[in-house]
Amino acid sequence: MWNCQNIFETYKNSTYGKSMKTAKARPTVVLADDHAGIIECVSRLLISDYDVVAAVNDGRKAVEAVMRYSPDVAVFDIAMPELDGLGAAREVKQQWCNTRIIFLTVHADEDYVVAALESGASGYVLKSSMQSDLVNAIEHALAGRVFVSSYPIGAG
């Protein structure tokens, strides 16, 4: 069974992954979610256009990974152990880090969207819309724009 580390190691050691070191640098991403299946799905979704430099399963490790790798983008879940994603985002932003943060979450409540944006996030994507919205959210964030998932927030 695949896990996030296997995906990253397979890519990093592949001919394609090695050739990217000599090509124009691709945007880098840190992933943080306490569900390995989500990490795997997001890694697969991003692997063709982005370099996933770290994948972690709690908010404290997310902050450490962002500080260590200074990625272009960090994709955080909201509900994580040790430190929730909102707290992790605030800590990252307090360090004057230029990393853009996107939340990938199941929470379709407007209060969460507002809290995420107030924490310094550049995007808010619902897991149910991940396949259609996540790359778009990353591109918006890299361009300095804010993206909120197309799912009607607060509905259902």
Dihedral sign (CA 133, 134, 140, 145): positive
Fold of 48-142: Rossmann fold (3.40.50)
Distance CA 7, CA 62 (A): 18
**Local structure of 109: helix, strand or coil:** coil
- Beta-carbon contacts of 136 under 8 Å, excluding residues fewer than 6 positions away, are 147
State how far the Cα of 135 lies from the Cα of 66, in Å rounded to an integer.
19
Taking 60 as the threshold, does the pLDDT of residue 28 lie above it?
yes
Domain ranges of the chain: 48-142
pLDDT one-digit tens code per residue, 88-125? 999 999 987 899 999 999 999 899 999 999 999 999 99
What number is the average pLDDT over the span 33-60?
A: 95
pLDDT mean across residues, the chain: 85
